[in-house]
Amino acid sequence: MIQTSHTLLQRLRQGVDDAAWERLVRLYTPLIRGWLRRHLPQLDDVDELTQQVFQVVVEKMPAFEHAGPAGSFRAWLRGICVNRVRMFWRERPPEWRPDPEPVLQQLEDPHSDLSRQWDREHDEHVVRALLEQIKGEFKPTTWQAFQLLVVGGCAPEAVAAEVGISVNAVYIAKSHVLRRLREEAAGLVL
């Protein structure tokens, strides 16, 4: 069984664990790069900036304390991104504009629409990636029932008929997948 995400954060805090770092980078690189490209399109080197964000994460992770409430890691990572973009911008010539400060100030405000959008995109991305990661742990019928019921929004009776299992088995499939997803998402989303 794959280590849970909360355990992943603990493993990262404790020191060198190449597999844990590789997993974190694989999980978060598409999210950070996509966000930077979409919200700060004037950036000339998104890949370099993404790498700088991860360098700060590596440096600061041993001191990271999960505060308990949902989104602690997400907010911590958002803060690192904001600060790294700000530093990146300061390293550019003064005539190199437009200034990202209005966007960065919105991100720093946890109540702004942009900050809430970051949180939503983060959670959706992480859940999708984690679902893809755990998919192979389930029988095809279990996975199909979960997808149809939870993702597709189909009625349990319709799912049971389509997959060829009982309605009770549909609910059990949902429960098993969600339990496993919660284990993986602990500390990252939940």
Residue ranges per structural domain of the chain = 5-136, 138-190
| Mean pLDDT, all residues of the chain | 86
Query: Which residues in the chain land under pLDDT 70?
Result: 1-6, 16, 41-43, 67-70, 94-98, 190
Looking at domain 5-136, does it have CATH number 3.40.50.2000?
no
Angle at 15 between CA 54 and CA 21, to 5 degrees: 40
Residue 125: count other Cβ atoms within 10 Å of its Cβ.
18
Cα–Cα distance for residue pair 177/120, rounded to 1 Å: 21
Residue 19: count other Cβ atoms within 10 Å of its Cβ.
10
CATH number of 138-190: 1.10.10
CB 127 within 8 A of CB 185: yes
Do 5-136 and 138-190 show the same overall fold?
no
Cα–Cα distance for residue pair 145/82, rounded to 1 Å: 40
Residue 130: count other Cβ atoms within 10 Å of its Cβ.
21
Which helix (H) or strand (E) element contains residue 101?
A: helix 101-108
122-167: pLDDT as tens digits: 989 999 999 999 999 999 999 999 999 999 999 999 999 999 999 9
Whole-number pLDDT of residue 181: 92
CB 167 within 8 A of CB 139: no
Cα–Cα distance for residue pair 178/155, rounded to 1 Å: 17
